[in-house]
Amino acid sequence: MLYDELLNYRPFDLSQNEKDRLLKNALKESLEHHFLNSKEFQKLCQKKKFFPPYDNFNYSDIPYLPVELFKDFHLISVPENTLIRTLNSSATTSQVPSSISIDDITRKRQVKTLAWLLSDFMGKERTPFFIFDIDPRHKSADKTITARMAAIRGFLVAASQSEYFMNYSERDELVIDIPKLIKYLTECEKQQKKIILFGFTYVLFSFVAKQLQKLNISFKLSNSVIFHIGGWKKLQNEAVSKSIFNATLSSIFGIKVNNIFDTYGFTEQLGIVYVDCDDGLKRCPLVSEIIIRDPNTMKQLPDGETGLVEFISPLPFSYPGCALLLDDIGRVVSRNSESNGRRGTAFEILGRAEKSELRGCGDIMAENINNEF
């Protein structure tokens, strides 16, 4: 399959023209598969007059699916008996999670793609992962969100070993296992050992950094790296900027600010993550692209303008997820710049869309749900 051939290249090596040629060929193959095997996607393509063979198309021509649809529809492009797993996105108790059905082809692509991307930032040598979350083997781990556990397991493809440093208190709050943390990190400090500290953004700051600050505990892990994943909304509500976050974690763990990587991803495109480059921007690797849509008209916006983000990738095989519209707001900064040798469309995620912004596209989303399917 053409998707697998993309992974023979390094993630950020190609020019935009070279990338477009290879990515669109893989997308063409993927789109034809979903058109033939998903009744819902076929109806959507017919309504949008987007038929195979898919030649000379723009990314914005691909009929997109709002990720909201995965809350209401069982969207698949393979026989039911080939499905091996269901992934549920994070959601509050009042929300319905998205449900993504995975077959073996999609699962293998997810694992291989994530390892391919992480090796570009971490190197190919496996490294110990110290995880600030609940051990999924713990009896209380079922209290955690499925998407969170799925993300953690995905990152462990780059781990030589894994240790977990959080428990639940009697009040069901996350707490650090301080004695274990001191034991392990002190030993790494003595050996000047490289480790990866991994956790979700809000957990790392609110449940780890703040607690260690109170206890006046710090380390000198100058050879190590922090990867954090998840949204910034809760921290922004507490007036915690990325610079404050980085400075705080750097002072506690003794890790250079440029070795603290903010990582963005979402359940509906599991396997692809978008990591901060040295210039503070995220870039699309060879296997994906981003466009920005006006919340009111759903038209593609020029680079530099802010709107709803849409990610395009031929990775999903078991469900028609080639073009996914999110409720995040972002902007494309550049399509030509490089950062430490990494090319690709550079973009920023600026936060979640406010309800007023989502209302603008509500009618269009409703049309997708009620009429097109």
Taking only the tens place, the pLDDT of each residue in 36-69 is 999 999 999 999 999 988 888 999 999 999 999 9
Most confident of 142-146, 194-198, 228-232: 194-198
Together in a domain, 134 and 259: yes
| Neighbouring residues of 215: CB distance < 8 A, sequence distance ≥ 6 | 178
Instruction: CATH number of the domain at 75, please.
Output: 2.30.38.10
Residue 102 covered by a domain: no
Residue-wise pLDDT tens digits, 140-149: 444 334 566 7
Together in a domain, 252 and 288: no
Together in a domain, 233 and 306: no
Instruction: Measure the CA–CA gap between 246 and 238, rounded to whole angstroms.
Output: 15
Q: Does 219 score more than 60 pLDDT?
A: yes
Residue 110 covered by a domain: no
Of 231, 265, 299, the position where a domain reaches its end is 265
pLDDT grade, residue 250 (50/70/90)? very high
Instruction: CATH number of the domain at 237, please.
Output: 3.40.50
Residue 88 covered by a domain: no
Q: Does 296 score more than 50 pLDDT?
A: yes
Q: Does 244 score more than 60 pLDDT?
A: yes
Residue with tokens 């707490």: 175
Q: Does 310 score more than 90 pLDDT?
A: yes
Residue 31 covered by a domain: yes
Cβ–Cβ < 8 Å for 191, 163: no
Q: Does 359 score more than 90 pLDDT?
A: no
Structure tokens at 16: 């935009």
Residue-wise pLDDT tens digits, 65-98: 999 999 889 999 999 999 998 887 765 444 677 7
Total count of domains within the chain: 2
Cβ–Cβ < 8 Å for 352, 233: yes
Identify the pLDDT of residue 336. Answer: 84
Together in a domain, 132 and 259: yes
pLDDT grade, residue 179 (50/70/90)? very high
Identify the pLDDT of residue 366. Answer: 44
Q: Does 136 score more than 80 pLDDT?
A: no
- Mean confidence (pLDDT) of the chain: 88
Structure tokens at 206: 């609110």
Do β-strands 346-352 and 196-200 pair in parallel, antiparallel, or remain unpaired? unpaired
Identify the pLDDT of residue 99. Answer: 87
Residue 106 covered by a domain: no
Together in a domain, 244 and 166: yes
Q: Does 365 score more than 70 pLDDT?
A: no
Residue 203 covered by a domain: yes
Residue 113 covered by a domain: no
Whole-model pTM: value is: 0.88
Instruction: Measure the CA–CA gap between 322 and 62, rounded to whole angstroms.
Output: 8
Range of the domain at 296: 1-81+281-373
The dihedral through the CA atoms of 120, 144, 70, 100 has a sign that is: positive
Instruction: Measure the CA–CA gap between 118 and 63, rounded to whole angstroms.
Output: 30
pLDDT grade, residue 155 (50/70/90)? confident
Instruction: Measure the CA–CA gap between 288 and 186, rounded to whole angstroms.
Output: 40
Structure tokens at 226: 């922090």
- Mean of the pLDDT values across residues 10-17? 96
